[in-house]
Amino acid sequence: MPAAWRWPLARLALALAGLLLLTIADWIAMADQWWNVSTYSHVLFIGPIAGFLIWQRREVLARLNPAAWWPGLVLVAGALFLWLLGTLASANTASQLGTVLAMQAAVLTLLGPRVVWSILFPLAYLMLLVPFGDELVPALQMVTAKLVIALTEFSGIPAEIEGVFIDTPVGLFEVAEACSGVKFLVAMFALGVLVAQTCFASWKRRAIFMATALALPIIANALRAWGTIAIAQVQGIEFAEGFDHIFYGWVFFALVVTALLGGFWRWFDRSLDDQPVTLAEVEQAALPNRLEAFGGIGGNFALVAVLAGTILFAAWSAAALRIEAALPAEIALPEVAGWQRADYDPQLAWEPRASGAQHRLLGRYRNPEGREVDVFIALYAGQDDGREASAPGEGALTPGTPWRWMEAGPAQAGALSDWYFALGSVRRLAQTHYRIGDLTTGSPAMLKLANMRDRLMLRARPTAMLIISAEQRGDSDPAADIGQFRQAIGRNPNEAGEWMDRIAAGS
């Protein structure tokens, strides 16, 4: 090892160890997803690939002199602040992205911009360590369903679509979350970025390749789903399901990747003998030269600053996570003018999930016209992992039940509106509200931001989740039933929020 590298690498190792100690929970959570969630199994290859790409640059790196760079400390602080925000809001993607960015910024701080310039792609590629893609599932379900119904009708199979459900002569098919194609899309994105960088020199060709790499899995997934429906019309649903699982799990991805790479093979314009980067390119690059012109700092000072920032954010996080709001010992569903409490007797069992809530209530109201609505409210002293109102699997759609998301419901200010479907015939409209302070919203993102702001300011306020729901019985209109109930408690979000506040206050 060149003498110029020994102390900088030692300082970097200490800085990374300090950051790892601070963010160990995020690394454990990410590793659990890489190993146990099939959508992210490809991430297990990201680290080794980045390491190999850096190893390819070893001769160039050996001839560089790493030097600490103080502006990198600003980036370390920014990444740690993002980690803090994500941690306080239980937004795992944000906290995990902050975790990776902090380590990348530490490399820049302790080794300098010229070294980072020489390893820029493999260092940036490590951002794909962060599991992402679940946020795309609902949109991909709808896109897939629209493409499948078009293909089904084009092929002459009579079918009707309602949300993500497609009804055909042999049975009802659901474009479920597992059929959205998200795991295929995120894996193809990681592969596409790697191929675009290592096999192409032209930015135009890279852009065309990436556009194809992202469009192809969406189209191919729709073709696969349509194929399952088409086979079922001839061979039956059980045969089609078995064929689909085997074909999609073991063959389909390989065929699509082969088609993508084979189709672009002749357009690869980077030779296998080309060096990823040369010493002359690094020394003559304008940006690192300009950045190195200012910002020099002692390596020991940079290390102490990184570790001090780590300790500061650790203390801030610990103090903020201890914040708890005071709650009443008991709460009750209040009387509502023009409505009476009724026995809760749904067509199919339905009970929202509110893990970690200190209080939960579920009841039914009926008015003299016979309209019925179900009201669920949950009250939380705080929001964090294990008790997050807007987390996946929380709220109106409980995993492990016959209920499935069907499509977005009619728009309602301050609420998240969705239709749910079960057993091929039971429908339910649910409108979800979140309340914290003066904010009433149906947006999980807005709830996270409000909770984040409170914790940053070390301010304790309770969070409430209200779900107003109605079943469809015969010719009933659940949207109209809920609308009548809203007139009694307050139609606009502020009035609904004040109604929630009275329940939360125990009055």
Q: How far is CA 114 from CA 209, 274, 398, in A?
A: 29, 21, 51
Reference 494, options 425, 456, 439, 443; nearest CA is: 439
> pLDDT at position 247, please?
63
Q: Where are the alpha helices (DSSP H) in 328-456?
A: 444-456
Looking at residue 507, its pLDDT comes to 63
How far is residue 190 from each of residues 39, 132, 183, measured CA to CA in Å? 12, 11, 11
Both tokens of 369, joined, read 């016209």
d(CA 184, CA 157): 27
CA nearest 44: which of 120, 140, 129?
A: 129
Q: 378 and 354 in contact (C-beta within 8 Å)?
A: yes
Report the distance separating Cα 158 and Cα 164, nearest Å: 16
- Taking alpha carbons only, the member of 126, 123, 15, 11 closest to residue 67 is 11
**Length of the chain measured in residues:** 507
Residue 243 binned pLDDT confidence (cut-offs 50, 70, 90): low
**Mean pLDDT, to the nearest integer, of 492-505?**
86
What are the helix (H) ranges across 56-132? 58-62, 71-88, 92-111, 113-118, 120-125
At 227 the pLDDT is 86
What band does 171 get if pLDDT is binned at 50, 70 and 90?
confident
Read off φ and ψ for residue 365, nearest 5 degrees. Answer: -120, 145
pTM confidence score = 0.83
Mean pLDDT computed over every residue of the chain: 91
Sign of the torsion formed by the C-alpha atoms of 2, 63, 46 and 108: positive
The continuous run of DSSP H or E covering 404 comes out as strand 404-408
Cβ neighbours of 145 (radius 10 Å): 24
> How many C-beta neighbours within 10 Å does residue 76 have?
27
347-356: per-residue pLDDT in tens? Answer: 999 999 999 8
pLDDT digit string (tens) for 41-63? 999 999 999 999 999 999 999 99
CA distances from 19 to 54, 92, 492 (A): 21, 17, 46
- Determine the pLDDT at residue 214: 95
Distance CA 402, CA 282 (A): 59
400-432, pLDDT tens digit by residue?
899 999 999 999 989 999 999 998 889 999 999
What pLDDT score does 47 carry?
96
- Tokens of residue 477, six digits: 């209109």
Percent of the chain with pLDDT over 70: 97
Q: Dihedrals φ, ψ of 339, to 5°? A: -130, 150
Positive or negative: CA dihedral 444, 445, 450, 456:
positive
**pLDDT of 33 strictly over 80:** yes
Question: How many Cα atoms are found within 13 Å in the side-chain-facing hemisphere of 195?
Answer: 24
